[in-house]
Structure 1
Amino acid sequence: MSNEITPGVLDGTDEAILVLLEQDGRLTHREIAAQVGLSRSAAATRVQRLLAEGHIDVRGVVHPAVLGHDVLAHVSVTVNGSATHVAHAAAAREDTTLVSMTSGHHALVLELRAKDIVRIDDALAEVRAIEGIVTTETLLYTEVIRDVAAPVGPAPAAGSLDETDYALLRALQANGRASYVDLAASVGLSPAGTRRRVVRLLDGNVVRVGAVVRHSGRERRTATGIGLRLDGAAHRPIAEQLARLPSVIFVARTLGRYDALLTVNTATSGDLVDVLDHIRELDGVREAETWSHLRFIKETYASLRLGQSSGPRAVPG
């Protein structure tokens, strides 16, 4: 692979590094270099460039249950007038973790996270009151199977988080690639003690550190949303099968007009056609509807705010 890079342009090596950092944002430059065929210094230069030019953020995302966000909803929105105005109004809400302008019948999609279904209902009423919104259609996530940006699966169990754990979580949210030396200085522990804590938080499914790819509408990779209607009752095995596809970055089982919702990242339209054909050919997939994410207005995900503590929370000891 070539070591030469052009500012603002991502090549195949950059794409390979993006995939690695999506999977594990704390990979060392040496580990990245070994997997993409570069020297350590060349890999470090590429990673720093991806960060500096804003192609990615690498940060820790805390399990929603640790934040008290037990209910997640996907909302498709039709508008009358400027979709940009509506998108920014929705993005200003604290309970929206994702707002995207999309192609197709719906001008926007957004994600709401809240403590319970009552608060989701209240939030939806407030969203519908935003000037310019005509209709909303809501999907409730019954189970998130795959999410490259956040922990999935059961909430952390056994033991509890203390204030040092919360301080580490906030530091990882700010910079997922912060060194153990820097993390240690921020929480008052030794680097070795800090490393043990971080590993425990990662292994305990409390936090996931990965690259969040920034979608401005100008990059080569395209994000596509897919809503699936499935046959039969065995929806989870189908969702798990979909989650194993390399281009799939998000899969959830849902209640509503779709049985499953997924997002795929592809480099070309040809790649997207191949992925869609493969999905439609899977046993149990009855119908697939697609929309393109044209521009992400908000991709913050839920986070612990400075000074916030949820009290004792379950985490492995």
Structure 2
Amino acid sequence: MSNEIAPGVLDDTDEAIVVLLEEDGRLTHREIAARVDLSRSAAAARVQRLLSEGHIDVRGVVHPAVLGHDVLAHVSVGVNGSASRVAQALAAREDTTLVSMTSGAHALVVELRARDIVEIDDALAELRAIDGILTTETLLYTEVIRDVAAPVGPAPAAGSLDETDYALLRALQSNGRASFVDLAASVGLSPAGTRRRVVRLLAGNVVRVGAVVRHSGRERRAATGIGLRLDGAAHRPIAAQLAQLPSATFLARTLGRYDALLTVNTATSGGLVEVLDHIRDLDGVREAETWSHLRFVKETYASLHLGA
């Protein structure tokens, strides 16, 4: 099997490496090589190519609560005129972590993060005042169950981080694959002490290090959003089943026009059909509405302005 791949083209081995790095962005080249049946040097070359060509960005993503983001919202935006122009205005806002141009009933999807519901309300008022925005429909996340990019689950204990922890988080946000030697140099600790700190931050759900896939149009996977309406007693059992889908990259229980929000990545239209058919066949799923993410204008999952 040849290890030489044309620039910009991902093969099955590349895709397998991307999946591994999505799950754990700090896997060593030796660990990756063993999982995809390559030599260590070939695995290292593949990883470097994925990074240098912009297919992925491996970074540490901090738990939203550490950043003071206790309320998360998904906003579908209807526009009059150029969706690209509106998308750029939305992407310029500090409180938007995701801006995507989509197919379907709405031209754009936006994710907002804020300290409380009052800030979300204020942000929505500002969004509606942007020239070109006609309508906004909002979902509030009540529970994020799966997110391949960010930590989910209980927030870290308040006051559990010190200045060195914050310095490490900033370094990991910049480069999730930085060596312990390089991290140690940036925070003034020994490599062994740095390793203990990083392991503690990872185990404590403070940060998650993984590959963020940069949707450039060159990758073979397409992202599809799915809004689900569920039977009342079925919310949690169905969520547990949806979280096990290999193609699921994001899953949240929500308040609004949908009871749950799901994002799946599939390589083919046939694969998407199979996923949707499986979801619709789950006991308790009443309706499933879909939209395609055509272009991600902004994908920022962490703030680089952390402070102790």
Contact 1:59 1:209 (8 Å CA) reproduced: yes
SS of 1:199's equivalent?
A: helix
Equivalent residues in 2 for 1:1-317, closer than 5 Å: 2-157=2-157, 160-305=160-305, 308-309=306-307, 311=308
Give the residue type in structure 2 aligned to 1:231: D
Give the TM-score taking structure 2 as reference length: 0.98
Give the residue type in structure 1 aligned to 2:58: V
Q: % of aligned pairs identical?
A: 88
Contact 1:32 1:43 (8 Å CA) reproduced: yes
Give the residue type in structure 2 aligned to 1:245: L
Runs of 4+ with >4 A deviation: none
Residue ranges of structure 1 left out of the alignment (5+ in a row): 312-317
Residue ranges of structure 2 left out of the alignment (5+ in a row): none
Distance 1:275 1:118 in 2: 37
Give the TM-score taking structure 1 as reference length: 0.95
Contact 1:59 1:176 (8 Å CA) reproduced: yes
Deviation at 1:303, TM superposition (A): 1.4
Give the residue type in structure 2 aligned to 1:45: A
Deviation at 1:233, TM superposition (A): 2.2
Deviation at 1:302, TM superposition (A): 3.1
Distance 1:74 1:2 in 2: 43
SS of 2:297's equivalent?
A: strand
Deviation at 1:216, TM superposition (A): 2.2
| RMSD of equivalent CA atoms | 1.1
Spell out, residue by residue over 1:95-141, the C-alpha distance to the aligned partner (whole angstroms, 9 max, x if none): 00000000011000000000000000000000111100000000000
Deviation at 1:304, TM superposition (A): 3.8
Q: Residue 314 of structure 1 corresponds to which residue in structure 2?
A: none
Contact 1:67 1:304 (8 Å CA) reproduced: no
